[in-house]
Structure 1
Amino acid sequence: MSRHRRLGYTEHSHDGPPVLMIMGFGMRGDAWRRQSSVLAEHYRVVTFDHAGIGESDPVPTRRLTMSDLVTDTVSILDMLGWSEAHIVGISMGGMVAQNLALQHPDRVLSLALVATHAGGVKRGLPPLEGIKRFVLSNVGSQRMESLAKLLFPPEYLANHKETAIQSLREDFRDPPPPETRLAQLHAVSTHRAAPHLHKISAPTLVVKPEKDILIHPHCSDELVRLIPGAILETIPDAGHGIVRQTPDALNSILLEFLNSTRTEPS
């Protein structure tokens, strides 16, 4: 699908092994900025906007699949002239990363999966509180308040509510149209990687935010069981908004993993 579609991307640095960062549902690639600015000190980092978001062309359908999103991701690699890269994905982006590693194993140097799951109805349904907050964050009049309660634990919001909401206003300053959200939801709902994850051979890191109410933390444990050799890192006080809430902890984990797998592309 991306052959005739323009996808906006940003190169944050030009030296070092390549790292492609795949953002989650409904957000521009620059929502990675707290990570990309740090990783770019050591790696050639690129973030991009999914179709229908930010600088990328609209989606032509309300029924995207994971294969469509993988095709888009490969097109970014091709535009950059990267034969392979370290792949970092969060939430929906982590689902895309899993499918990329399965469909194009030769393009993946390593895999970092943050706050994501292996697919299927049972795994894809958040806890009841998460479902409630997700719906209100997309249709309610108090969208930012609901989004904050979805992405950040109550203990964090008790002391950092205004900071949290301001960070969300920045990341969602240009919200995608309903058709884009529907298309991405369809892709997430059809994600079914679990039966195939044993085929992944790339070094894999799984990062579990222990207080996530959108994707249950036990989904991270399952990914580690399903992917051979995968390692687990837990951030005990983090919610699904891990990139904003605990950027230093996440950056430290990502850098340690990338440094341990650091290779130049062939």
Structure 2
Amino acid sequence: MATDTVFESMTGDVDNISKKMPELHWQHPYKQGFATVAQGRSQEPVNLYYEMHGNGPRKVLFIMGLNTPCQAWDFQTSELAPTGENTIVTFDARGVGWTDGTWDSYNTTEWAKDVLELLDHLGWASEVHAVGYSAGGQVLQKMLLLSPQRFKSIALVSTTAGGTRPFTGAYTLISNLFVSDPHEQLRRLMRINYTKSWLDQRPDDDSSVDTNFERVFKKQLERNTRNRPQQIGGMVSQAIASMRHWVTASDLAKIRSFGIPTLVATNTWDNFVHTSHSFYLRDHLQPDVFMVFEDTGHVIPTAKYKEFNSALVQLWTKAETPDLINN
């Protein structure tokens, strides 16, 4: 591991620093591995950690958001991998989880190239259904501009083509650096990622806790056992890459011209991406599906995972059946 300040936070278990990869215990088929990316594009090559869930014929790529490990897709992999229909790839971006990365100057275009090189490593040259959430949606936009022929369908979730961000999210991320208790850091982030009403509700799929707040908190602590603490250089470098992101109206018109079946999803209360930015994407991309999730907050894939997963499967099915997408 490169010498750097370890961000002592809710991002992972310090005991994992000496390990090479996490221990997984999924019931469905899965694989773990590393792909060497960014050779000649970075200070040094990046060993990018990925997981492959399921063994179905449909190829699905999930691209996670800012400074968040691939374990955050648990609600998708646990539901969609066991069906036998999907092979799902998730990964840790530079400086996150089990992937190399510390202080580095890169942007979302370089980030996108990392992911395209991961797809090359896997031999996924076409027919890929891609889902980009938050900063992952920014990366997916750049991937589309670089290699549109790879994609069978795309989903852009709680994301932006560029521009200003809400103050609350940025302030909380920065101020969390000065909070010594990792559990309090996590609680602060949860309160700005999800609506209070949703956090206070009783979960409909976990009788061991009384509220969604307890459920998400418990889930995050479990995920930490499969993750490493993030280095501050990796955290800041990725944040800067996301903040610098920009895709023009002309770029969006180009993406639309590819004719790839598209879903754009947003919410009604978001402290990390202005919801209006998704409406901007809707206006310029004219997606096949546009969804607004009520009472969720930023993290739609967790708060509304059942509805979200169902919408993805419908998109994928229609994309694979041209007569359906045209009707």
Match of 2:237 in 1: 183
Structure 2 Cα separation of the partners of residues 136 and 186 of structure 1: 16
What aligned pairs does 1:249-264 form with structure 2 within 5 A after superposition? 249-262=307-320
Structure possessing the higher radius of gyration over alpha carbons: 2
Whether 1:156 aligns to 2:195 is: no
Match of 2:246 in 1: 192
TM-score of the two chains, using structure 1 as the length reference: 0.90
Match of 1:130 in 2: 169
Q: Deviations over 1:178-231 (max 9, x none)?
A: 111111111111111133111112221111122222212111111111114443
What residue identity is the alignment partner of 1:215? Answer: V
How many Å apart are 1:63 and its aligned residue? Answer: 2.0
- Identity across matched positions, percent: 29
Match of 2:6 in 1: none
- Could you tell me which of 112, 115, 118 is aligned with 1:73? 115
More divergent stretch after superposition (191-200 vs 221-230): 221-230
Larger % of helix: which?
1
Alpha carbons of 1:137 and 1:257: their partners in 2 closer, same or farther (altered >3 Å)? Answer: farther
Alpha carbons of 1:232 and 1:137: their partners in 2 closer, same or farther (altered >3 Å)? Answer: farther
Match of 1:8 in 2: 49
Decide whether the 8 Å contact of 2:130 with 2:154 is kept in 1.
yes
How many Å apart are 1:15 and its aligned residue? Answer: 1.8
What aligned pairs does 1:4-83 form with structure 2 within 5 A after superposition? 4-40=45-81, 41=83, 42-59=85-102, 61-83=103-125
What aligned pairs does 1:99-114 form with structure 2 within 5 A after superposition? 99-114=142-157
Alpha carbons of 1:7 and 1:36: their partners in 2 closer, same or farther (altered >3 Å)? Answer: same
| Structure 1: 5+ residue stretches without partners | none
| Structure 2: 5+ residue stretches without partners | 1-36, 40-44, 202-210, 322-327
Q: Please give the secondary structure, in 1, of the residue aligned with 2:131.
A: strand
Decide whether the 8 Å contact of 1:62 with 1:182 is kept in 2.
no
Q: Please give the secondary structure, in 1, of the residue aligned with 2:47.
A: coil
Between Structure 1 and Structure 2, how many residues are aligned? 258
What residue identity is the alignment partner of 1:140? Answer: V
Match of 2:158 in 1: 115
Decide whether the 8 Å contact of 1:62 with 1:186 is kept in 2.
no
How many Å apart are 1:19 and its aligned residue? Answer: 0.7
Structure 2 Cα separation of the partners of residues 179 and 108 of structure 1: 32
Structure 1 Cα separation of the partners of residues 248 and 229 of structure 2: 31
How many Å apart are 1:235 and its aligned residue? Answer: 1.1
Alpha carbons of 1:112 and 1:138: their partners in 2 closer, same or farther (altered >3 Å)? Answer: farther
Match of 2:301 in 1: 243
What residue identity is the alignment partner of 2:235? Answer: R
Match of 1:168 in 2: 220
What residue identity is the alignment partner of 1:68? Answer: E
Q: Please give the secondary structure, in 2, of the residue aligned with 1:156.
A: helix
Q: Please give the secondary structure, in 1, of the residue aligned with 2:314.
A: helix
Match of 1:88 in 2: 131
Decide whether the 8 Å contact of 1:235 with 1:249 is kept in 2.
no
- Could you tell me which of 222, 229, 249 is aligned with 2:280? 222
Q: Please give the secondary structure, in 2, of the residue aligned with 1:7.
A: strand
| Structure 1 vs Structure 2 CA RMSD | 1.8
